[in-house]
Structure 1
Amino acid sequence: MRIALATPMKPIDDPRPSGDRTMARLILKALQTAGHEVEIATRFRAWRADGGVEAQRLVEREALVEADRIAERWTREGTAPDLFLTYHLYHKAPDWIGPRLADLFSLPYAIIEASRAPKRQSGPWSHGFAAADKALARADAVAALHRADAECLSAVVEPKRLVVTPPFLDAAPYRLAAQANEAHDGPVRLLAVGMMRDGDKERSYRILAEALSGLQDLDWRLSIVGDGPARDAILPLFPDSRLTFLGARDAADMPAIYAGHDVLVWPAIREAFGFVFLEAQAAGLCVVGGDTFGVPDIVRDGETGLLSPEGDAAAFAANLRRVIGDAPLRHRLSRAAQAHVAARHDLAAGIGSLARFLDLALQNRAGRFTPAS
């Protein structure tokens, strides 16, 4: 099948690393591995940091110009796809291009990773919210990446069009790195992976620092992967004698970095699901994390890691104390974490779930809409 892919949140070749970019690239890889021909339909970015109805109307006009440009090219070259697929849609990143092209060419239209915050129905994001809702109404199939998003979407997307498609990754490099890792008898090696920017990321680091401040009696070391404008505010939160700052690292470096540690520690403030949790578990790390949005969908509390209420530093510290002080527990969680990802979140699982999702879109398109004459 020929598929046109759009990513209104962030272009798939954006130079800045993020979980969003990683997931988009994995979707592309899974589709191509399954034999589909995938065109990156546009690099247009609808996402804006700040709201304002007039600003969003300007983005809409720009998006529709881009849609018409693509339509003209498809018509001229005879290259219209069989399906239009959009990855990551919400009020800050609406999709005007996909619905426009789907209507012009009578295409099935599908959305992967959509979220909906009803409080944005009014106020500075109201235009983007309405546009996202309009795209959801047009979609033949909508996939949430976790149950929390699916629950919010269910108010506007009926069950026959809505599914949960779990996030996935290519676990092979992480498994290989874990196999090459040597046994370690020294301090428990903790790892935090997160961008250093104001807001939720900085708050996650602050909760982690607060939790670790009460564990000075235990033998641990912390490595941090990440960088950003809040670095000078974040690094002093942690004791120099126990900290290794690795900075921003390429994706190719990460399997070995994960495998060289014992526990991923991340409070996950306002995280959609936290792609680092998948990567860490694939490399055989247990997790101490925050029980936020989609995190419980990919980290099994008590089985592959320990989760605490979002923002609760004391509960987070208690879970840290358990895994640092109990090597058999740590090893049991780690083994289960790697098996969990291999069974439910590896690339093969992603290919299968995407195939079912695309079939749903095609079936619903045939049943919901009459092709344009």
Structure 2
Amino acid sequence: MKIAFHAPLKSPDHPVPSGDRQMARMLIEALRLAGHDAEVASPLRTFSRDASETAFSARRDEAEQEIARLRRLWQKDGPPDAWFCYHPYYKAPDLIGPRLSAEFSIPYLTAESSYSDRRNKGGWKLAQDEVAAGARQAVVNICFTHRDREGLEEAIANVRCAMLPPFIDVSPFSKPPGTAADACRLMAVAMMRPGDKTDSYRMLARALALVVGLPWRLTIVGDGPARADVVEAFAALPAERLDWRGEVEPRAIPAILAGGDVYVWPGCGEAYGLSYLEAQAAGLPVVAQRTAGVPEVVQDGETGLLTAEGDIESFAAALRRFVGDAALRAQFSERARRFVFERRSISAAAARLGEILGELAGVEK
């Protein structure tokens, strides 16, 4: 199949790295591995930070120009076999695909479409209506988490969904984890942004303060506009325990993780978190909260320990278990690597996408 791929939140070609850009690129690669010809159809970004009918109207005008451009192109060269939209939601609806798919009678598909009734008001309602209409039109909505699937099915009657677990490219993680050191090496990789990310950093700092008597050292990879707030959150901890790496190139992450023992990130508000899969691929067991989409990527009691949301003492207790028991870390490490390499690799995702496109979308390669 010739697939027109679109990511209204952030194009795969966007210059700023993020989890959304990474997943968009991996979806294209997985589609290609499944035997399809997937190409970015439009770089248009419909993201709006704030609810505004004026901003939505401007995005609509931009979308109309893209629709006209693609219509001319398809009339000349022929349309694709399907339109595949990644991550439409109330801040970044797909304003192109549903229109063109209906006009040219091609299947419309979404991946990680999300819908929440609490956003269906005020300035966001116009965008929410577009998300709902797209999900209703889609021959299949591919969901990465059960939470997203439940949200669609509760809000939209007869919506068609299929599950595709979050995945990563495991090829950079072929080396085994490093050897044990005197102090347990804890790792955290995250942007420093206001909101959920800063909340996670603050929770981590408070939990570490409860286990300061144990031998650990924390490596923090990341930077951003909330860096000062993050640094302040860790100010009460011994400076010699903290290794601030700042922002690094994504390709450097596997080697950094390979030097760690445990991945520690509370995950406040995480949709699912690709960093958890990357850490496990590097052989690091995870300590996180049992919240949002985190249980979709960490197997509690098998590849990591998940604690109750907001429970800092339980989070500290999980840290204490891993820091004080190298044998336990080794057991979890082996299971973590096997989980990601066998079940959450890009090749596994390609196989699943092939099934979805062939069976649920009613289209063949």
Q: Is this a same-fold pair by TM over 0.5?
A: yes
CA distance in 2, matches of 1:290, 1:159: 33
The letter for the 2-side match of 1:60 is R
Instruction: Name the residue aligned to 2:228.
Output: 232
The letter for the 2-side match of 1:202 is T
Write out per-residue CA displacement over residues 228-276 of structure 1, whole angstroms, 9 at most, x where no aligned residue: 0111121232232111111111111111111110111111111100110
Instruction: Name the residue aligned to 2:150.
Output: 151
Verify: 1:177 aligned to 2:169, yes or no.
Answer: no
Instruction: Name the residue aligned to 1:65.
Output: 65
Contact 2:108 2:137 in 1 (8 A): yes
| Alpha-carbon offset, residue 37 of structure 1 | 1.3
| Alpha-carbon offset, residue 156 of structure 1 | 4.1
The letter for the 2-side match of 1:149 is D
Instruction: Name the residue aligned to 1:207.
Output: 203
| Alpha-carbon offset, residue 64 of structure 1 | 2.3
| Alpha-carbon offset, residue 212 of structure 1 | 0.5
Structure 2: give runs of 5+ residues left out of the alignment. none
CA distance in 2, matches of 1:250, 1:149: 30
| Alpha-carbon offset, residue 124 of structure 1 | 2.4
CA RMSD in angstroms comes to 1.6
SS of the residue 2:91 aligns to: coil
The letter for the 1-side match of 2:70 is I
Equivalent runs, 1:106-185 vs 2, <5 Å: 106-157=105-156, 161-174=160-173, 176-178=174-176, 181-185=177-181
Identity of aligned residues (%): 42
| Alpha-carbon offset, residue 53 of structure 1 | 2.4
| Alpha-carbon offset, residue 182 of structure 1 | 3.9
The letter for the 2-side match of 1:147 is H
| Alpha-carbon offset, residue 143 of structure 1 | 1.0
Write out per-residue CA displacement over residues 174-212 of structure 1, whole angstroms, 9 at most, x where no aligned residue: 1x232xx54123200000111001111111100000100
Instruction: Name the residue aligned to 2:304.
Output: 305
Instruction: Name the residue aligned to 1:15.
Output: 15
Contact 1:188 1:262 in 2 (8 A): yes
Instruction: Name the residue aligned to 1:194.
Output: 190
Write out per-residue CA displacement over residues 20-70 of structure 1, whole angstroms, 9 at most, x where no aligned residue: 111111111111223321221000001111112232132122212211211
Distance change (3 Å), C-alpha of 1:364 and 1:127: farther
Distance change (3 Å), C-alpha of 1:311 and 1:139: same
Write out per-residue CA displacement over residues 295-353 of structure 1, whole angstroms, 9 at most, x where no aligned residue: 11110101100011223222211111111112222111111111111221011210011
The letter for the 1-side match of 2:98 is P
CA distance in 2, matches of 1:255, 1:129: 37
CA distance in 2, matches of 1:86, 1:160: 16
Contact 1:161 1:360 in 2 (8 A): no
| Alpha-carbon offset, residue 111 of structure 1 | 0.2
Contact 1:110 1:361 in 2 (8 A): no
Structure 1: give runs of 5+ residues left out of the alignment. 366-373
CA distance in 1, matches of 2:53, 2:216: 50
Verify: 1:287 aligned to 2:286, yes or no.
Answer: yes
CA distance in 2, matches of 1:159, 1:150: 12
| Alpha-carbon offset, residue 107 of structure 1 | 0.5
TM-score between both structures, scaled by the size of structure 1? 0.93
Contact 1:84 1:108 in 2 (8 A): yes
Contact 2:285 2:329 in 1 (8 A): yes
| Alpha-carbon offset, residue 359 of structure 1 | 1.9
SS of the residue 1:142 aligns to: strand
SS of the residue 1:228 aligns to: coil
The letter for the 2-side match of 1:92 is K
Contact 2:8 2:94 in 1 (8 A): yes
Contact 2:144 2:164 in 1 (8 A): yes
Contact 1:170 1:347 in 2 (8 A): yes
Instruction: Name the residue aligned to 1:97.
Output: 96
Instruction: Name the residue aligned to 1:371.
Output: none
CA distance in 1, matches of 2:264, 2:85: 32
The letter for the 1-side match of 2:114 is S
TM-score between both structures, scaled by the size of structure 2? 0.95
CA distance in 1, matches of 2:361, 2:315: 45
Instruction: Name the residue aligned to 1:277.
Output: 276
Task: Report how many residues are paired.
Answer: 361
CA distance in 2, matches of 1:277, 1:96: 32
CA distance in 1, matches of 2:284, 2:88: 31
Larger mean CA deviation between 224-233 and 52-61 belongs to: 52-61
CA distance in 2, matches of 1:164, 1:185: 40
Larger mean CA deviation between 279-288 and 233-242 belongs to: 233-242
Write out per-residue CA displacement over residues 278-310 of structure 1, whole angstroms, 9 at most, x where no aligned residue: 101111110001212221111010110001122
The letter for the 2-side match of 1:49 is R
Contact 1:109 1:361 in 2 (8 A): no
Instruction: Name the residue aligned to 1:369.
Output: none
Contact 1:91 1:128 in 2 (8 A): yes
